[in-house]
Amino acid sequence: MGLKLSFLGGAGTVTGSKYLLESISHRLLIDCGLFQGGRTLREMNWKRFAVEPAGISAVVLTHAHLDHSGALPLLVKQGFNGMILCSEATAALCEVLLRDSGHLQEQDAKYASKRGFSRQKPALPLYTVKDAEAALRLLRPISFHADCELPGGGNLVLRRAGHILGAASVELEWERTSVAFSGDLGRHDDPIMFEPEPLVKGDYLIVESTYGDRSHPKVDPQRAIEEVVGATTKRGGTVVIPAFAVGRAQALLYYFERIKLAGGLSNVPIFLDSPMAVDASEIFCKFKTDQKLSYDECKRACAVATYIRSVEDSKRLSDSPVPKVIISASGMATGGRVLHHLRRFAPDPKNTVLFAGYQAEGTRGAAMISGARTIRIHGQDVPIVADVRNIDALSAHADADEMLGWLKSGRIAPSRTFITHGELRAAHALQSRITKELGWTCVVPEQCQEATLN
């Protein structure tokens, strides 16, 4: 009997990545992410897992972003007790991200109880900090490129995927079948992250398609940032940048440091208002061999911003009329401190809201980019009068050409390729390019679809 692969998330959407691989005796889960975006997606986080978590032998984690790791505390809370295999940097980042996620879930529940808009009384958190800590105890960091044994025989190898610190593509050899998962793929020529490494093995391939239907414009991100920030601050405005705390926040610090070094934006103060991004920046400097910057370059980039930790300082920052840049999480404006900055700055035409990466359907970020006149924050309609910009070139995801280039550079010719982690249009666009240019058989699986391998 061959293997069975089920798509429990990340199919037809960019969030909730969860792929279950089953042999006759064992179950492996690749990624265990939270669904993010509109209400229907978020409600899927409350459903029970399709299989008993206690019956899963191990989890393999491609990277630390919550749409890949954020449901681990739930899995553990519901009985999973195996090991969670991931790279060393991913483990270090999860320490920060999962704890913070537990904390946010607790806060959301408290807020819902207070406002009375929860069906449960009192409202329960999806999981707590304690649940997150139980998941962290199961993390088993492994080195890139090293053979690692899997429960039930077989092995796995992690290859660098670029994208963010610690991000990996995974090659599994299990029950005489090799299955490769791209994970989220980074850019070529990224100033900070290495290029995604070509795949060596993969009878079957599961590949992401976030930008499967797009090419990143050939603009220089550094120049684009300098132009937007320069124009806004010149008219006395503030630039609010919603940014993923892990990855984009550090890339932005790097670009601002380069701009200032070249003499640009000399009087513009930069603030990093996200305790999590501050912690992630420290981890970033520690993992010297996992990115291109030297320790000194890393420290210099981190020093370009004033770090804001306390809520009081964050509120004071919102009230200050001085033209400035505020980098704050979350990246798609789905939560976090960036919300109170948007409430304060978005209604004024002097200001700019600058997006620095992919905005999933159903998020406030996607609504603002497509021209929404108001967005709802904490029960209030906030008018969007500020200039709204999106610099796609800042994305941490490969575009369609880069993805094709990466696939061609590998030594594989999979008998079937599954296209996941993209809105349907992007997934289908990538499917037709792979079919045409590589001649591979591709499938765009639906949520909960199952496939037999071999």
Closest distance to Zn ion from the beta carbon of 68 (Å): 6
Closest distance to Zn ion from the beta carbon of 330 (Å): 13
Give which of 197, 152, 210 is closest to 357, Cα–Cα.
Answer: 210
Q: Are 185 and 163 in contact (CB under 8 A)?
A: yes
Bridge partners of residue 140, in order along the sequence: 85
Nearer to Zn ion, 144 or 307 (CB): 144
Closest distance to Zn ion from the beta carbon of 251 (Å): 13
Residue 228: Cβ within 10 Å count? 18
Stretch that binds Zn ion, among 168-176, 181-189, 336-344, 354-362 (CB under 5 A): 181-189
* CA within 13 Å, CB half, 279: 15
Task: List the structure tokens of 274.
Answer: 């996200």
Angle between helices 400-409 and 424-438 (to 10 degrees): 40
Nearer to Zn ion, 184 or 257 (CB): 184
Residue in the shown chain whose Cβ atom is closest to Zn ion: 65
Residue 197's SS3 state is coil
Closest distance to Zn ion from the beta carbon of 269 (Å): 29
Nearer to Zn ion, 169 or 314 (CB): 169
> Which of left, alpha, beta for 264 (phi over 0: left; psi -120 to 50: alpha)?
beta
Closest distance to Zn ion from the beta carbon of 210 (Å): 8
Closest distance to Zn ion from the beta carbon of 65 (Å): 4
Stretch that binds Zn ion, among 64-72, 139-147, 195-203, 220-228 (CB under 5 A): 64-72
Closest distance to Zn ion from the beta carbon of 63 (Å): 6
Nearer to Zn ion, 65 or 216 (CB): 65
Stretch that binds Zn ion, among 61-69, 283-291, 318-326, 445-453 (CB under 5 A): 61-69
Vertex 425: Cα angle to 420 and 426 (nearest 5): 50
Nearer to Zn ion, 387 or 399 (CB): 399
Q: Are 337 and 274 in contact (CB under 8 A)?
A: yes
Task: List the structure tokens of 77.
Answer: 């809370």
Stretch that binds Zn ion, among 57-65, 194-202, 269-277, 349-357 (CB under 5 A): 57-65
Nearer to Zn ion, 193 or 268 (CB): 193
Element (DSSP H or E) covering residue 407: helix 400-409
Contacts (CB under 5 A) with Zn ion, residues 218-237 = none
Task: List the structure tokens of 110.
Answer: 């408290």
Whole-number Å distance between alpha carbons of 358 and 390: 9
Nearer to Zn ion, 177 or 182 (CB): 182
Nearer to Zn ion, 15 or 431 (CB): 15
Stretch that binds Zn ion, among 182-190, 252-260, 383-391, 411-419 (CB under 5 A): 182-190
- Asked whether position 184 contacts Zn ion by CB under 5 A, the answer is yes
- Asked whether position 106 contacts Zn ion by CB under 5 A, the answer is no
Extract the runs of DSSP E, i.e. beta strands, from 176-249.
177-181, 204-208, 239-242
How far is CA 379 from its chain centroid? Answer: 26
Closest distance to Zn ion from the beta carbon of 87 (Å): 13
- Asked whether position 31 contacts Zn ion by CB under 5 A, the answer is no
Give which of 48, 71, 44 is closest to 59, Cα–Cα.
Answer: 71
Q: Among 18, 27, 65, 364, indicate the residue that binds Zn ion (CB under 5 A).
A: 65
- Asked whether position 100 contacts Zn ion by CB under 5 A, the answer is no
Q: Which residues of 105-140 are buried (b: 16+ CB within 10 A; e: fewer)?
A: bbeebeebeeeeeeeeeebebbbbbebbebbbebbe
Question: If binding means CB under 5 A, how many residues of this protein chain bind Zn ion?
Answer: 2
Q: What is the binding site for Zn ion (CB under 5 A)?
A: 65, 184
